[in-house]
Structure 1
Amino acid sequence: MKKLAIIFLLVSACEFRISDEDAREELDDIANIQFNDLEVGDKSMHYAYIDQGRDIQLVFIHGSPGSWNAFINFFKMDSLLEKFDMLAMDRPGFGNSGFGEAEPSIEKQALLIHQVLEQFPDKQLILIGHSLGGPIAARMAMDFPNDYAGMILVAPSIDPELEEDEWYRGMINTKIGAIFTPKEFEVSNDEILPLKEELEIMLPFWSKIKIPTIVIHGSNDSLVPKENADFAKRMLPDSILEVKVLDGVNHFIPWTHPQEITKAINQLADGL
């Protein structure tokens, strides 16, 4: 019941979609912010990026629900702008990437994002995935092991054994439930309902990940159990650089403790 209360609190507390015009206004000091839509098969992928010709590009992958602007504050950081190009996208079904049409397959989501990143050849790419963005980043590293230089998993939902059977998700997935559920949460529900099975499909492929990886989790995360960090350590014994569990911190690390993510970014970049 506590988790359900937190989820619906987000409805009124968070802005999950932002227009390109509003984003430009918020980022008015950054003249070279750009937006694009890439047609990939029957999907349209919307993304924001800053391309300054840097060697390293940061790739931010949001959770569920969410949109690219979950990471908009990172686009404002001078310390990152001085060293990196940055890209963040709306995952399928969110923001301006086919809003309302969920893509429950983690493998397909990983492929769609990978195809966006093919528009930026000759970059060293560091993946940063928060929450459900974590397993998607991991799947990208599994399926395209030579195309990424590093990975940061922030409060990632990656251990299938830790996925709970949450009673309210079945209720949302009904005609009556849909009437009272914001569209972002319908899409989120549609991709979280099969998540346990999707994570089980990934189990044999963790050994394919060879890139240096940092995991950051909060000890007080009530949405994604901190034991997911232990799972990462077990599955990636040779590529984990660090597992950091932040004492007293909840699930919303990109907003409450962005400095921990920037430290991890610089740690990975220094090793490239």
Structure 2
Amino acid sequence: MNQVHRLSVGAHGLSVLAAGPDPVEQAARPIIMVHGTPGSAGGWRWFLGHGPQGVSLLAPDRPGFGRSEPKQALIGLKAQAGRLTPLLSLNPANPPAILVGHSMGGPVVARLALEQPHRVAALVLVATSFDPDLEHQHPLQPWADREPWRRLLPRPLRNANRELLTIVPELRALARDLGQLRCPVVILHGTADRESPYGNVAYLQRHLTHAMVEVRTLEGAGHFLPWTRRRDVLAAIERARALCAA
């Protein structure tokens, strides 16, 4: 079982849980696992402990969550991807990374792959949200972002709400660029996912026009696959590793 430790990366205080070979001292392919909204690096702790040997396993707290700075929400997929970019260059000898995104972490890793295509070998999209027409805002969400109600929410929920209020235009902008992705993409999605409906799979298949896409469907599974279907998520990551080696 891998030992898990925490490190700080970059000038902006990105807090990261890490396991496996030292990502700075030893050349090894990074596998970077990005949580959704809300969430934290701790959601990937099981995978850090049980993940593949010989690779650097990294799980950042996205800005606005966990121990990372800033403590307030960082709005915009490009801004979020920019804060994660230092993870791709911890060691210049590292092979390109495999990026894993759960839920709203999926659009973040997709944007990161678009911004840094030569540093990304493959994507694993786990119960991800991409189709803007499948995003449904609760009528109370805008009110929850106003004072004094905003201060009544715990910080993770406050920041998550702020992200979700702006996500539809962000996803529409991302859709225009998805066809530029050329790395392998493994999609893992449950048919009973209510938070990120299964229709996101067909949406991705339509838009990932130049990527090799492999879909793994979990009948009857819901949204929280990193907790409920860990072995399936791990198998999807291993499949991405195999596609990189092919």
TM-score (norm 1): 0.82
| One-letter amino acid matched to 1:37 | S
1:12-31 to 2 correspondences below 5 Å:
30-31=2-3
Find the counterpart in structure 2 of residue 71 from structure 1: 44
In the TM superposition, what are the counterparts of 1:58-137 in structure 2 within 5 Å? Answer: 58-77=31-50, 80-98=51-69, 100-121=71-92, 122-137=94-109
- Equivalent residues of 1:62, 1:132 under 8 A apart: yes
Partner of residue 230, structure 1: 202
1:39 & 1:124 partners in 2: Cα distance?
A: 18
User: In the alignment, is residue 208 of structure 1 matched against residue 208 of structure 2?
Assistant: no
1:177 pairs, out of 146, 149, 157, with 149
Q: Is the 8 A contact 2:18 2:56 kept in 1?
A: yes
Counterpart of 1:64 in 2: which secondary structure?
Answer: coil
Give the secondary-structure state (helix, strand or coil) at the position aligned to 1:161: helix
Tell me the C-alpha RMSD between the 2 structures.
Answer: 1.7
1:201 partner letter: A
Q: What SS class does the counterpart of residue 236 from structure 2 fall into?
A: helix
Q: Deviations over 1:246-269 (max 9, x none)?
A: 111111000000111111111121
Q: 1:48 aligns with which of 7, 11, 17?
A: 17
Change (3 A) 1:240 1:169: farther
Q: 1:54 to 1:261 in 2, by over 3 A?
A: farther
How far apart in 1 are the matches of 2:56 and 2:151? Answer: 41
Contact (CA 8 Å) 1:100, 1:184: kept in 2 or not?
no
Matches for 1:188-267 after TM superposition, within 5 Å: 188-267=160-239
Q: Deviations over 1:231-254 (max 9, x none)?
A: 111111342431122111111000
1:13: which partner in 2? none
Gapped regions of structure 1 (runs ≥ 5): 1-28
% same residue: 28
Deviation at 1:51, TM superposition (A): 4.1
CA distance in 1, matches of 2:56, 2:201: 28
Residues of 2 paired with 1:266 and 1:68: CA distance? Answer: 20
Number of residue-to-residue matches in the alignment: 239
1:38 counterpart (6, 9, 18): 9
In structure 2, distance between residues paired with 1:50 and 1:30: 6
Shift of 1:99: 5.6
2:141–2:165: 8 Å Cα contact kept in structure 1?
yes
SS in 2 for 1:174: coil
Question: Where does structure 1 differ by over 6 angstroms across 4 or more consecutive aligned residues?
Answer: none
Write the distance in 1 (CA, Å) between the matches of 2:192 and 2:143. 27
Deviation at 1:139, TM superposition (A): 0.4
1:145 alignment partner, one of 109, 117, 133: 117
**1:146 & 1:110 partners in 2: Cα distance?**
15
- Structure 1 window deviating more from structure 2 (231-240 vs 131-140): it is 231-240
Q: CA-to-partner distance for each residue in 1:41-82, whole Å, 9 max, x for gaps? A: xx32111212424632211000011110110001121xx342
Amino acid across the alignment from 2:29:
I
CA contact 2:135–2:168 (8 Å) conserved in 1: yes
Shift, 1:179, TM fit: 4.1
Between stretches 164-173 and 55-64, larger displacement belongs to 164-173
